[in-house]
């Protein structure tokens, strides 16, 4: 979606994996940043460790977009918020059911900054990162956001008007698949769980969705229009981010 957006905006996208550049041969991230940022107008990075992206951004001469890390997925959550607006959800009560991962962390930050209610239900051993939770709760003091945590999906979904989830096995966690499937038993978003939400509640999933694991086939297909609108909105959101950055290219922007 990023590459498509770049071309639609009249730019040229250059995809580089670690094997295509000197990072794959042990070059320090700060050196890679200082080389690449002299040749392009902005950089989008998808990586694992947040620290790698932070280091790249520190040494880059151009804006750096967090396309995904283990800690956050901000472009996805901005996409989700656009989808809420298009679905006319004006006063969100969001229930997140599943893994305390980068998507959950990003929902925490969005809720904390915009002031809407967020309820998170995760298994005990798969809770959100405590440092990120504490940061979000501190921000929420100013916005008035109500953020709660539990290990009970029913408690989270009761009365919500937005229900969302994510895969139980993220990239790089394939070796944990069987263990995770057992741990997340009972965290499937099915029709029984959705019945606890408000009438007309929407369902979101950032995809790919694994039917009858984190979401039932019935719920997914009943809310397919919302889910695929969400998928399309990645393109529009990311184009908006790139245009905004291009318009503010000479400003000192930290976040």
The predicted-structure confidence for 140-180, as pLDDT tens digits, reads as follows 999 999 999 999 999 999 999 999 999 999 988 999 999 99
- The set of catalytic residues is 46, 73, 76, 166, 206, 234
pLDDT at position 194:
99
Joined tokens for residue 117: 């209610």
Q: Does 253 score more than 70 pLDDT?
A: no
Domains of the chain, CATH where assigned = 2-69 (3.40.50.1370), 74-232 (3.40.50.1370)
Is 106 within 8 Å of 208 (Cβ atoms)? no
pLDDT at position 24:
72
Share of the chain above pLDDT 70, in %: 98
pTM of this prediction?
0.95
Q: Does 254 score more than 70 pLDDT?
A: no
């Amino acid at each position: 979606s990023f590459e498509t957006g770049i071309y639609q905006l009249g730019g040229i996208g250059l995809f580089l994996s670690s094997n295509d550049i000197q990072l794959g041969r042990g070059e320090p991230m700060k050196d890679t940043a200082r080389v690449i940022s002299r040749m392009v107008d902005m950089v989008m990075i998808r990586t694992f460790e947040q620290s790698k992206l932070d280091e790249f951004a520190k040494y880059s001469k151009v804006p750096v977009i967090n396309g995904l890390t283990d800690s956050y997925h901000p472009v996805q959550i901005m996409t989700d918020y656009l989808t809420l607006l298009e679905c006319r959800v004006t006063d969100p009560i969001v229930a997140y059911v599943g893994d305390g991962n980068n998507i959950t962390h990003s929902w925490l930050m969005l809720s904390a900054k915009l002031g809407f209610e967020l309820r998170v239900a995760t298994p005990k051993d798969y809770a959100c990162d405590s440092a990120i939770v504490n940061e979000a709760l501190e921000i929420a003091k100013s916005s008035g956001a109500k953020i709660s945590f539990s290990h009970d999906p029913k408690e989270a979904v009761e009365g919500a008007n937005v229900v969302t989830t994510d895969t139980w096995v993220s990239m790089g966690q394939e070796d944990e698949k069987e263990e995770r499937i057992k741990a997340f038993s009972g965290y499937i978003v099915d029709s029984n769980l959705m019945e606890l939400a408000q009438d007309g509640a929407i369902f979101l999933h950032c995809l790919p969705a694994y039917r009858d694991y984190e979401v039932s086939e019935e719920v997914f297909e009943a809310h397919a229009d919302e889910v695929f609108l969400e998928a399309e909105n990645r393109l529009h959101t990311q184009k908006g981010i790139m245009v905004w950055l291009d318009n503010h290219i000479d400003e000192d922007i930290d976040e």
